[in-house]
Amino acid sequence: MSRRGPTETKLLDVTKVSGTLVAALIDPEDFTVEQAGTVAKKVQKLGASCIFIGGSTIADQGHLDEVVMRIKRDVTLPVLLFPGNITGISRHADAILFSSLLNSTNTYFLIGAQSIASIQVMKSKLEAIPMGYLVFGDQSTTGFVGQVRPIPLNKPAIAVMYAMAAWYLGMRMLYLEAGSGSEKAISPEVIKAVRAYYPGFLIVGGGVTRPESASAAAGSGADMIVVGNLLQTDGYEKKFAPIIDAVKHIRPRLMDD
Ligand code: 1GP
């Protein structure tokens, strides 16, 4: 298993002090370089803990590099790549969520893309964080592109099986994904079930747009909530701030508690 690097360590340390974290997800395909920098500055001011950069359909790596460099210039928050494919790598980020889409039916998304990318990740000196990625429901671009057999949103036992397989395979992070813009977020029942077994860092995203759903996820044991789509809506600052407030005092269980 790879060793924990500085970015992962920092996130774990902040979680212990501040409770559940909120990551702001920026999909470079949806933002100009300037817009990405502006949003990153605003979410840092509002209390986000890190920036995720990624998407399911990134093709323009030049633009990705520019977005990452601008965000690194404009904020002090850790910047983590959240790649949907080998095109999601930029050497300018702090770390990469080196993930396997565990419920894909295509070995490319399980280990193929990762093996193609691995040497570049090493040469780029990116901190690689091993992460299991699980897609729920049938509403996501990620699910379509990644050729998943989606986990039903009401089947926590299936999620637990995958979560423990991820843990035993050395994945220190696990991301429960309902899909960007999903009408239904991951349910508290699923999060609680996974939390009861999975000792690693638990990330939940997809369709979290309100403080109620954020606090439900945090109270159920999520270590980090990811907010993406909301940042593209008018007046997002006024919607993002209450999400931060709703989760910041909720302290989830951590593996080394
Ligand atoms: C998508 O889980 C993330 O990969 C965030 O979802 O865009 O719905 O916030 P939203």
Which pLDDT tens digit goes with each residue over 211-251?
A: 999 999 999 999 999 999 999 999 999 999 999 999 987 87
Residue 256 has pLDDT above 80, yes or no: no
Mean pLDDT value across residues 5-33: 95
- 99 and 175 Cβ atoms separated by less than 8 Å: yes
More confident residue, 254 or 16: 16
Res 139: pLDDT: 79
The neighbouring-strand residues paired with 202 are 174
Q: Whose CA is nearest to atom 1 of ligand 1?
A: 180
Q: How confident is the model at residue 254 (pLDDT cuts 50, 70, 90)?
A: low
- The DSSP call for residue 175 is E
Res 252: pLDDT: 65
Q: Is 68 exposed, middle or buried (0-12, 13-18, 19+ CB in 10 A)?
A: buried
Rounded to the nearest 5 percent, the helix, strand and coil shares of the chain are 45, 20, 35
- The DSSP call for residue 249 is T
**Predicted TM-score of the model (pTM):** 0.97
Cα 181–Cα 58–Cα 144 angle in degrees, nearest 5: 50
User: What are the DSSP calls for 181-203, one per residue?
Assistant: T-SSPPPHHHHHHHHHH--SEEE
pLDDT digits (tens, 9 = 90+) for 41-97: 999 999 999 999 998 888 899 999 999 999 999 999 999 999 999 999 999 999 999
Does residue 225 have its Cβ closer than 6 Å to ligand 1?
no
Residue 257 has pLDDT above 60, yes or no: no
Compute, in angstroms, the gap from residue 28 CA to the centroid of ligand 1: 13
Q: How far is CA 200 from the centre of its chain?
A: 14
CATH architecture of 6-247: Alpha-Beta Barrel (3.20)
Res 56: pLDDT: 86
- 92 and 68 Cβ atoms separated by less than 8 Å: yes
Res 57: pLDDT: 87
Contact residues for 173 (Cβ-Cβ < 8 A; gap 6+): 8, 97, 129, 130, 131, 132, 200, 201, 202, 203
Does residue 137 have its Cβ closer than 6 Å to ligand 1?
no
Q: Which of 56, 139, 202, 226 to mutate to test the pocket of ligand 1 (most atoms within 8 A of CB)?
A: 226
Residue 154 has pLDDT above 80, yes or no: yes
| Site of tokens 């299936």 | 158
Q: How confident is the model at residue 17 (pLDDT cuts 50, 70, 90)?
A: confident
Give residue limits of the domains in the chain. Answer: 6-247
Q: How confident is the model at residue 1 (pLDDT cuts 50, 70, 90)?
A: low
Given CA atoms 100, 104, 107, 112 in this order, what sign does their dihedral have? negative
pLDDT digits (tens, 9 = 90+) for 103-138: 999 999 999 999 999 999 999 999 999 999 999 998
Residue 255 has pLDDT above 60, yes or no: no
Does residue 80 have its Cβ closer than 6 Å to ligand 1?
no
pLDDT digits (tens, 9 = 90+) for 160-190: 999 999 999 999 999 999 999 999 999 999 9
* Amino acid identity, position 60: D
Start-to-end C-alpha separation, the chain: 21
Q: Which of 229, 231, 244 to mutate to test the pocket of ligand 1 (most atoms within 8 A of CB)?
A: 229
